[in-house]
Amino acid sequence: MSMNCYRTACFLSFLLLLSLMALSLSLFAQNPQQRQNTARAALQSEMVQEGKDCRDAKSQFALNVCIEQVRGVSQHDFDIFYENLFSLLAPDPANQKALQTAQEQWLTYRALSCAAIDDLYRGGTIRPSAVTRCEIQLTRSRMRDLDSLYQTVLHL
């Protein structure tokens, strides 16, 4: 590698490191109240949608397309909720680790539960939407459970 190429790579690495540090500081700079509000907003976004997903779908194909979009939004809301809850636990890394371990186990549970739904509807046109609905329903349920279990962290 030429000296100029090495310098350029080092400079780019340095810029990337500075960008990551700035992002970390901006996320860290959010106060607990802001994190609580952000988590609650993500939860509320999902709770108001329950029972309203894809009501206007006129065919199974349309339902499959629509429900896939709902899953993306649901997962996005969950990610925001979880990230903020995780950050609120930062004063004690052991609490963060416990949540992370529980979340890994829950992801396995969700995958196995929805695999059972996949097996149930194997070969049917409803299969894609049934599996996706399973993932959405369990994700929303997980958000409700975490909100209740971590009430003192998220609401006080």
* Domain at 55, CATH number: 1.20.1270
**Same domain flag for 1 and 35:** no
Q: Encoding tokens for residue 141? A: 């349920």
**Same domain flag for 17 and 75:** no
| Domain span at 151 | 31-155
3-state secondary structure of 2: coil
Name the domain count of the chain: 2
Q: How high is the pLDDT of residue 30?
A: 77
Mean pLDDT of the chain: 88
Say if residue 33's pLDDT is above 90. yes
| Cα–Cα dist 134/121, whole Å | 12
| Rounded average pLDDT over 93-122 | 98
User: Which residue carries 């400079």 as its tokens?
Assistant: 11
**Same domain flag for 109 and 83:** yes
**Same domain flag for 52 and 6:** no
Label residue 1 by pLDDT band (50, 70, 90): very low
Instruction: Calculate the alpha carbon distances from 70 to 52, 91, 150 in Å.
Output: 10, 34, 26
* Segment 61-98, tens digit of pLDDT: 999 999 999 999 999 999 999 999 999 999 999 999 99
Q: Encoding tokens for residue 115? A: 């695999």
